[in-house]
Amino acid sequence: MGKITIPEEEYMHPGHIACLGCGGALAMRYMLKALGKRTMVSIPACCWAIMHGKHPNFALGVPLVNTAFEVTGASISGIRAALDAKGIKDVNVVGFAGDGGTADIGIQALSGAVERNTNIFYVMYDNEAYMNTGIQRSGATPPGAWTTTTPVGTTQDWKKAPKKNMVEIMVAHKIPYTATINIAFPEDFVKKLQKGKDIDGPKFYHAFAPCPTGWRHPPEITVSIAKMATDSNVFPLFEVEEGKYTITRKPKKRIPVKEYLGLQGRFRHLPEEMVERIQREVDREWELLLRKEEYTADF
Amino acid sequence: MKHKWEPESCRDLPYTPIMDRPTTYNKTGVWRTYRPIVDKEKCTDCYICWKFCPDVSILIQEDGSIEIDYDHCKGCGICAEVCPVKAIEMERER
């Protein structure tokens, strides 16, 4: 018999209305497993705003508040302030937003919340576009990707701008803990969230969550694709504690980025030279990360 | 600061839409095109499929074996993909 490596309690009920093979559903499941019963979640407009079901039904075992797109940061600050006024100390307050609600629309509220040094968790589950409203390009969409607002067709108008680096933005706010997490590595996911429980101050997590609908891949390979993203260094797993970088997974055998891109329909149109450019960019970022780890080793 | 009115629980609030019913009655199993079938002979009870199921539809029984909750399984096939011994097969739903 195998060993159960992540907490056994379930706080996400089945019957939620996520698509087949949803990465965001897994992110929520692991997040609640890690933080446990004493958790309050605030969710802006994103896939999770509808996935928990319509009015009398509710897919989570913890209290949740649905807010407007821009105000996740403000709403979790408010929840924390109310808990402090009541003298409740043991509740984890979580903002759980998509990449559009974090990197584009919600960034000023988030920036304010972390600047005030509020004791909160913020999980950005990154499916790399506005998937709930129909695959529109967001700041976190990687270069080269097809979306409905960056159509390819004959104009070759795929996304040209780079992906917004939310982790570095948060590190620049000098917050105590920032980490990247991936649904393909649940043990690491749970460990990093549980680590945040002992840290007083804002904690930011960038969670990688593939979306079969928007990325145009079959639902069964969601976990394999997420694993490949880390093994090809497209999405390295690391954490930043008070400015000190630690890479938590160094892939033994690096997969070429071409293999990772090849599985997804949204990169189908990419010419060879563009793939090589993405590979060079990924290698550069990885090299930069290795050096950051080296330079900050004795902080 | 002392407020005059202090609600004991959410029931004392003025009429507010509060969601308290779990979605488990919502049978998402009807979405399924492919049905996962577990081969109990091959299964080693490693619980990797349980870990990666986005619909919490793999249940661990009291004796340690796994069972699939066909009422809620949407048939995404992640369990069959991540199984290290290939004990789960996806069969077309009839």
pLDDT tens for residues A103-136? 999 999 999 999 999 999 999 999 999 999 989 9
The count of other CB atoms within 10 Å of the CB of residue B17 is 6
d(CA B94, CA B84): 27
Asked whether residue A64 is assigned to any structural domain, the reply reads yes
- Average pLDDT (A246-272) is 93
pLDDT for residue A23 is more than 90:
yes
Asked whether residue A14 is assigned to any structural domain, the reply reads no
The residues of A whose Cβ lies within 8 A of any Cβ of B are 1-6, 8, 10, 12-18, 20-23, 25-26, 29, 52-53, 55-59, 61, 186, 212, 218-224
Asked whether residue A18 is assigned to any structural domain, the reply reads no
Compare CB distances from B54 to A18, A57, A221 and report the shortest one's residue.
Answer: A18
A224: chain B residues, CB-CB within 8 Å = 81-82
Question: Is the alpha carbon torsion for A217, A105, A172, A64 positive or negative?
Answer: negative
Closest CA–CA distance from residue B38 to any residue of chain A (Å):
16
pLDDT for residue A165 is more than 60:
yes
Q: Which domain holds residue A204?
A: 23-295
How high is the pLDDT of residue A98? 93
For residue A74, name the pLDDT band (cuts at 50, 70, 90). Answer: very high
Looking at chain B, which residue has its C-alpha nearest residue A6? B51
pLDDT tens for each residue of A272-286:
999 999 999 999 999
For residue B22, name the pLDDT band (cuts at 50, 70, 90). Answer: confident
For A15, residues 6+ apart whose C-beta sits below 8 A from its C-beta are A53, A57, A59, B22, B23, B24, B25, B26, B27, B28, B72
pLDDT for residue B76 is more than 60:
yes
Extract the tokens encoding A186: 């649940």
- Cβ contact B60:A3 at 8 Å: no
d(CA A180, CA A19): 24
- Average pLDDT (A20-40) is 94
Inter-chain Cβ pairs, chain A and chain B, closer than 8 A = 109
- Cβ contact A124:A205 at 8 Å: yes
Closest CA–CA distance from residue A59 to any residue of chain B (Å):
5
A212: chain B residues, CB-CB within 8 Å = 76
How high is the pLDDT of residue A155? 85
- Average pLDDT (A132-142) is 92
> How many structural domains are present in chain A?
1
B72 and A15 within 8 Å at the Cβ level: the answer is: yes
Closest CA–CA distance from residue A225 to any residue of chain B (Å):
11
- Among residues of chain A, what percentage have pLDDT more than 70? 100
pLDDT for residue B43 is more than 70:
yes
> Looking at beta carbons, which pairs linking A137-142 to residues 24 or more positions away fall under 8 Å?
A138/A99, A138/A100, A138/A103, A138/A104, A139/A99, A139/A100, A139/A103, A139/A104, A139/A163, A139/A164, A140/A99, A140/A100, A140/A102, A140/A103, A140/A104, A140/A164, A140/A166, A142/A234, A142/A278
- Average pLDDT (A33-55) is 91
Q: What is the CATH number of the domain that holds A254?
A: 3.40.50.970
- Cβ contact A190:A201 at 8 Å: no
- Cβ contact A66:A49 at 8 Å: yes
Q: What is the dihedral of CA A211, A144, A235, A75, to 10 degrees?
A: -60
How high is the pLDDT of residue B3? 56
For A299, residues 6+ apart whose C-beta sits below 8 A from its C-beta are A242, A243, A244
d(CA A299, CA A296): 5
- Average pLDDT (A256-260) is 94
For residue B5, name the pLDDT band (cuts at 50, 70, 90). Answer: low
Extract the tokens encoding A258: 């071409």
> According to DSSP H, which parts of chain A are helical?
23-35, 48-51, 72-86, 99, 107-115, 166-172, 186-196, 212-215, 222-231, 257-262, 272-295
How high is the pLDDT of residue A156? 85
pLDDT for residue A101 is more than 60:
yes
Q: To the nearest whole number, what is the mean pLDDT of chain A?
A: 92
- Average pLDDT (B50-76) is 92
How high is the pLDDT of residue A282? 95
pLDDT for residue A56 is more than 90:
no
Interface probe with B: pick from A12, A17, A20, A127, most Cβ of B within 10 Å: A20
How high is the pLDDT of residue A1? 62
Span B27-92 CATH architecture? 2-Layer Sandwich (3.30)
- Among residues of chain A, what percentage have pLDDT more than 90? 84
List % helix, strand, coil for chain A (3-state, nearest 5).
40, 15, 45
Q: Where are the domains of chain B?
A: 27-92
For residue B2, name the pLDDT band (cuts at 50, 70, 90). Answer: low
How high is the pLDDT of residue B6? 67
A57 and B22 within 8 Å at the Cβ level: the answer is: yes
B26 and A17 within 8 Å at the Cβ level: the answer is: yes
